[in-house]
Amino acid sequence: MIRIGSLRRRLFLWNTLVLTVSLIGLGFTIHLVVLSDLTKQSDAHLLVAADTAASLATAVLSQDAKTASQANDLIRKVHSGMGGSSQESAQIPGMDARSIDSRIKIFNPDGQLLFREWFKSRINDQPYDKESLQTALGGTPEFRSIQVGGDRFRLLSKPVLQDGNVRLVVQVAQSEAQTELGVQQVDHALLHMVPIAIVVAGLGGLFVSGASLRPVKRMVAAVRKIDAQNLGQRLTVEPDKELAELGTAFNLVLERLDSSFESQKRFIQDASHELRTPLTALKVNTSVALSGPPSLEEYRTALVGADRASDRMMRLVSDLLFLSRTDAKEIPLEMERVSVTESAEAVVEALGAQAKQKGVDLCQRILEDLSVFADRFLLDRLLTNLVVNALSSTSAGGKVSVMAARNDAIVEILVSDTGIGIPAEHLEHVFERFYRVDSSRTRNDGGTGLGLSICRSICEAHGGSIEISSRLNEGTTVKVSLRA
Ligand SMILES: Nc1ncnc2c1ncn2[C@@H]1O[C@H](COP(=O)(O)OP(=O)(O)OP(=O)(O)O)[C@@H](O)[C@H]1O
Ligand SMILES: [Mg+2]
């Protein structure tokens, strides 16, 4: 069905319009070519007739024909040689007998009629066309179309030169009826063929456009079936190049949607799972406190447990909020020049007690005073996360150091430890949300698996990057690159 505004309708209309204009143009060209061709043929015929008449006239004027009857005889011969009739009535059809009664007229250099093709009762000494005669008397042959008594004739006025002077002028006229008839026949054929061609090609175009849009309909039907439940479905890629590109692009969008949908699902599952642990702890502690008459000590233990659980929940929720806000680019950055040396010093100082308690040597070894253009609070949070990770993975006697160096327009901050290291298969996942190498152990330590995700978000928000390298049982180094 053709609907208003449909692509198929537009294709059909444009196709038909272009075809109509082209066919009309072609028809007009054919008309002109046929007209010019037939006129050329007629002109060639007039030229032969004029040349024959010219030789006749030259002969008559020479010694060959001295009397009028001899001249007349010669004229007859030439006329019959040219295919004319020997009857006086062999007048060109449609010609006005009073003005033109023969096809050939010959004039002397003064413009007076010498001969006509043959004599008739009503003699007309006038030239077929005076202007044309004058041109020929000037020595230039001329073809032109003339109108006589409502009919059109093709006329050749040809001078006969002798010693560079015009000796005679031959005028030969021929009806254009034949030419007009030929052109009319061609026009007639075109007038019938062009509309038929337009209708046939238009219907063909309609069929072709319908066939070429069929794969689009198939794609639309397939797309309609896709919803949130079956995002894993893919479109069949059609063989046509353009539709294959569309199908591939759509499949890529589906793939991205699918993976973001999946990661969102995983994120919600992970977040719920993470929240369940402290919630369970909270519930267990409150249940213990409420069951039976507990002692003061039991109350206290339950409250401490509940307090820890709510601390953990608060941390988890605030980390999640921070990540979702950086994802949505909602964290306003207060950019300023921040001394990396001072920041590192502050973090080392803040975590010094924790390191000492663990028996780990924590130090900063930044030799020059380096600064970056960053948000001070976020830089501190980044360094704290990295140092806390390093400390929790390093046992007594180990070492954690913060170093920094300038590399062109970049400041590289390195947080290294001599801790347990990360197995190679886990290394590429540690920046994922909720990812922990040893989930049971770190959960007991209080880790939620969001620290490195937050570090990466902070780096990206600053237009920087973060990398991690590690060797099992040897240690780990995290490199942060920020603009100086
Ligand atoms: N320096 C390190 N040495 C060894 N393992 C590390 C180091 N830093 C991170 N990891 C591993 O990568 C995991 C992810 O670290 P991340 O900081 O994201 O989470 P977390 O420290 O477990 O929890 P959170 O930082 O949210 O409290 C950690 O659980 C740990 O297994
Ligand atoms: Mg951490």
- Residues near ion ligand 2 (Cβ under 5 Å): 389, 451
Instruction: Select the highest-mean-pLDDT range: 61-65, 80-84, 99-103, 153-157.
Output: 153-157
Nearest alpha carbon, ligand 1 atom 10: 389
Average confidence score pLDDT of the chain: 84
- 161 in the same domain as 54: yes
Nearest to 227 by CA among 248, 258, 267, 263: 258
Q: How many domains does the chain have?
A: 3
- In this structure, is residue 312 part of a structural domain? yes
94 with 210: CB under 8 angstroms?
A: no
- 315 in the same domain as 344: no
160 with 54: CB under 8 angstroms?
A: yes
| Spacing, Cα 282 to ligand 1 middle (Å) | 25
- In this structure, is residue 225 part of a structural domain? no
- 361 in the same domain as 311: no
- 337 in the same domain as 246: no
- In this structure, is residue 206 part of a structural domain? no
Over residues 353-377, mean pLDDT: 93
- 442 in the same domain as 312: no
Q: pLDDT higher for 263 or 188?
A: 188
Lowest-pLDDT range of 51-60, 90-99, 215-224, 295-304: 90-99
CA distances from 275 to 91, 281, 316, 442, 475 (A): 117, 10, 8, 15, 31
| Spacing, Cα 353 to ligand 2 middle (Å) | 18
Q: Is residue 437 in contact with ligand 1, taking CB distance under 6 Å?
A: yes
Is it the case that residue 476 has pLDDT exceeding 70?
yes
pLDDT at 93: 38
Q: Is residue 476 in contact with ligand 1, taking CB distance under 6 Å?
A: yes
Lowest-pLDDT range of 295-304, 339-348, 467-476: 295-304
- In this structure, is residue 167 part of a structural domain? yes
- In DSSP notation, 74-94 reads HHHHHHHHTT--SSTT-PPTT
Is it the case that residue 460 has pLDDT exceeding 90?
yes
- In this structure, is residue 78 part of a structural domain? yes
| Ligand nearest to the Cα of 435, by number | 1
CATH number at residue 307: 1.10.287.130
Over residues 95-119, mean pLDDT: 64
| Ligand nearest to the Cα of 468, by number | 1
354 with 329: CB under 8 angstroms?
A: no
Over residues 4-15, mean pLDDT: 79
- 384 in the same domain as 254: no
| Ligand nearest to the Cα of 454, by number | 1
Nearest to 365 by CA among 391, 345, 339, 338: 345
Give percent of the chain above pLDDT 70: 87
- In this structure, is residue 366 part of a structural domain? yes
Is it the case that residue 149 has pLDDT exceeding 90?
no
Where in the sequence is the domain holding 270, given as residue range(s)? Answer: 241-325
Is it the case that residue 84 has pLDDT exceeding 70?
no
Cβ neighbours of residue 372 closer than 8 Å, sequence gap 6 or more: 337, 338, 340, 379, 411, 462, 482, 483, 484
Of 325, 354, 387, the last residue of a domain is 325
Nearest to 434 by CA among 210, 307, 218, 276: 276
pLDDT at 124: 61
Instruction: Select the highest-mean-pLDDT range: 234-248, 286-300, 325-339, 376-390.
Output: 376-390
- 370 in the same domain as 298: no
Nearest to 143 by CA among 116, 114, 179, 95: 179
Nearest alpha carbon, ligand 1 atom 19: 449
pLDDT band at 183 (very low <50, low <70, confident <90, very high): very high
Q: Is residue 447 in contact with ligand 1, taking CB distance under 6 Å?
A: yes
| Spacing, Cα 303 to ligand 1 middle (Å) | 28
Burial (CB count within 10 angstroms: exposed 0-12, middle 13-18, buried 19+), residue 274: buried
Is it the case that residue 92 has pLDDT exceeding 80?
no
Q: Is residue 450 in contact with ligand 1, taking CB distance under 6 Å?
A: yes
Q: pLDDT higher for 267 or 440?
A: 267
Is it the case that residue 112 has pLDDT exceeding 80?
yes
Lowest-pLDDT range of 164-168, 348-352, 414-418: 164-168
pLDDT band at 264 (very low <50, low <70, confident <90, very high): confident
pLDDT at 94: 35
Q: Is residue 49 in contact with ligand 1, taking CB distance under 6 Å?
A: no
pLDDT band at 175 (very low <50, low <70, confident <90, very high): confident
- 390 in the same domain as 261: no
Is it the case that residue 87 has pLDDT exceeding 80?
no
- In DSSP notation, 139-175 reads T--EEEEEEETTEEEEEEEEEEEETTEEEEEEEEEEE
Residue that the structure tokens 């209080």 belong to: 446
- For a pocket test of ligand 1, which of 275, 312, 323, 389 has the largest count of ligand atoms closer than 8 A to its C-beta? 389
pTM of the model: 0.58
Determine the atom of ligand 1 nearest the C-alpha atom of 435.
Answer: 14
- List the structure tokens of 276: 């369940």
pLDDT band at 344 (very low <50, low <70, confident <90, very high): very high
Lowest-pLDDT range of 25-34, 323-332, 338-347, 434-443: 434-443
Q: pLDDT higher for 448 or 351?
A: 351
| Spacing, Cα 451 to ligand 1 middle (Å) | 7
Q: Is residue 127 in contact with ligand 1, taking CB distance under 6 Å?
A: no
pLDDT at 79: 55
Over residues 144-170, mean pLDDT: 86
Nearest alpha carbon, ligand 1 atom 17: 451
pLDDT at 73: 63
Is it the case that residue 263 has pLDDT exceeding 60?
yes
CATH number at residue 86: 3.30.450.20
pLDDT at 211: 86
Over residues 96-124, mean pLDDT: 61
- List the structure tokens of 12: 């059909």
- In this structure, is residue 204 part of a structural domain? no
Of 308, 325, 342, the last residue of a domain is 325
Q: pLDDT higher for 287 or 124?
A: 287
Q: Is residue 436 in contact with ligand 1, taking CB distance under 6 Å?
A: yes
- CA 307 to CA 278: how far, in whole Å? 10
pLDDT at 25: 94
- 114 in the same domain as 58: yes
CATH number at residue 347: 3.30.565.10
Q: Is residue 400 in contact with ligand 1, taking CB distance under 6 Å?
A: no
pLDDT at 296: 86
- 336 in the same domain as 426: yes
Is it the case that residue 402 has pLDDT exceeding 70?
yes
Q: Is residue 414 in contact with ligand 1, taking CB distance under 6 Å?
A: no
Is it the case that residue 53 has pLDDT exceeding 70?
yes
- 320 in the same domain as 285: yes
Over residues 25-36, mean pLDDT: 94
Over residues 217-238, mean pLDDT: 86
- 156 in the same domain as 96: yes
Q: Give the 3-state secondary structure of residue 106.
A: strand
Instruction: Select the highest-mean-pLDDT range: 75-79, 213-217, 330-334, 336-340.
Output: 336-340
Nearest alpha carbon, ligand 1 atom 7: 389
- In this structure, is residue 195 part of a structural domain? no
Over residues 122-143, mean pLDDT: 81
Q: Give the 3-state secondary structure of residue 126.
A: coil
Of 182, 198, 225, the last residue of a domain is 182
Q: Is residue 312 in contact with ligand 1, taking CB distance under 6 Å?
A: no
Q: What are phi and psi of 454, to 5 degrees?
A: -65, -40
Instruction: Select the highest-mean-pLDDT range: 96-105, 153-162, 210-219, 375-384.
Output: 375-384
Is it the case that residue 452 has pLDDT exceeding 90?
yes
